[in-house]
């Protein structure tokens, strides 16, 4: 399965109210080419942080699904976020890792995902749904099966493919602005919004307190 085809399949499952966070490099470039939208946050320049940003969105915007799309190199740079995601347990989070065992965006250098079974790391961390796939049909089925089972983790094995046919993500300030506006325009404004926000704040406080406790111990 090629990276571009995998992202096409993922895009077919994305709803109009889903927030999408994609990692820096070729994944964001392909997403831009396939389905550019204000609901996409192209996380350019901060490799490894797509999962952390996605977690923050999922906690604070718990009335919508948050979809993270990143590569094996990206998640290997921030594996601690997998533990934090599983611990905070956002039911609305879908975490997709496209694994080609290489840093394709920076030249195709090998990663360690050949020996580090990322799906087993996710399972051990405590994700509620974990699956490894190797074809578009398997990916499509897993996207369906993971519905309402977050935090969900899907590892999609893809071919090494350093093709750079998709356009670069430019106009970063505009991308941030339109994503913020989209969030405001699509956020639920019903009376229960305040209670959702309060719950999100409590969950963030728990995460911060846990982090402080570990630091002091």
Contacts of 52 (CB under 8 A, 6+ apart): 78, 81, 84
Per-residue pLDDT band for 191 (boundaries 50, 70, 90) equals very low
Q: Quick one: tokens of 134? A: 């190797």
Q: Indicate whether 174 belongs to any domain.
A: no
How many CB atoms sit inside 10 A of residue 209's CB?
A: 10
Confidence (pLDDT) at 200: 64
Which residues face 41 on adjacent strands?
Answer: 21
Residue with tokens 């087993």: 120
Query: Worst-scoring range by mean pLDDT, 19-23, 60-64, 151-155, 171-175?
Result: 171-175
The answer to whether the beta carbons of residues 57 and 21 sit under 8 Å apart is: yes
d(CA 72, CA 186): 31
Which residue spans within the chain are E strands per DSSP? Answer: 19-22, 40-42, 66-71, 93-99, 102-103, 109-110, 129-133, 152-157
Helix (H, G, I), strand (E, B) or coil at 162: coil
Residue 45 in domain: yes
Residue 75 · residue 43 · CB < 8 Å: no
> For residue 194, is pLDDT > 70?
no
pLDDT, one tens digit per residue, over 56-87 is: 999 999 999 999 999 999 999 999 999 999 99
Residue 31 maps to a domain = yes
Is position 175 within any domain? no
pLDDT of residue 217 exceeding 80, the answer is no
CATH code at 119?
3.40.50.970
Residue 197 belongs to what domain range?
Answer: 3-164+181-216
- In the chain, the number of structural domains is 1
Across residues 18-29, what is the average pLDDT? 94
The answer to the question of residue 173 being in a domain is no
pLDDT tens-digit readout, 96-143? 999 998 887 777 788 999 999 999 999 999 999 999 999 999 999 999
In a domain, 172, yes or no: no
- Out of 114-123, 147-156, 184-193, which region has the weakest mean confidence (pLDDT)? 184-193
């Amino acid at each position: 399965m090629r990276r571009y085809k995998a992202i096409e399949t993922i895009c077919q499952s994305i709803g109009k109210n889903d927030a999408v966070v994609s990692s820096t490099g070729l994944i964001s470039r392909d997403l831009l080419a396939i389905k550019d939208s204000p609901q996409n946050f192209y996380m350019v320049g901060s490799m490894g942080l797509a999962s952390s940003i996605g977690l923050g969105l999922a906690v604070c915007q718990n009335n919508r699904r948050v979809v993270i799309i990143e590569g094996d190199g990206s998640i290997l740079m921030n594996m601690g976020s997998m533990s934090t995601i599983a611990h905070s347990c956002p039911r609305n989070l879908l975490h997709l890792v496209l694994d080609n065992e290489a840093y394709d965006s920076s030249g195709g250098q090998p990663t360690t995902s050949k020996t580090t079974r990322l799906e087993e790391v996710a399972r051990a961390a405590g994700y509620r749904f974990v699956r490894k796939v190797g074809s578009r049909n398997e990916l499509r089925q897993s996207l369906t099966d993971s519905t309402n089972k977050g935090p969900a983790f899907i590892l999609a094995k893809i071919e090494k493919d350093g093709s750079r046919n998709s356009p670069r993500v430019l106009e970063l300030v505009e991308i941030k602005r339109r994503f913020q506006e989209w969030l405001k325009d699509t956020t639920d404004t019903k009376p229960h919004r305040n209670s959702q926000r309060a719950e999100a704040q409590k969950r963030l406080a728990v995460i911060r307190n846990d982090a402080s406790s570990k630091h002091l111990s």
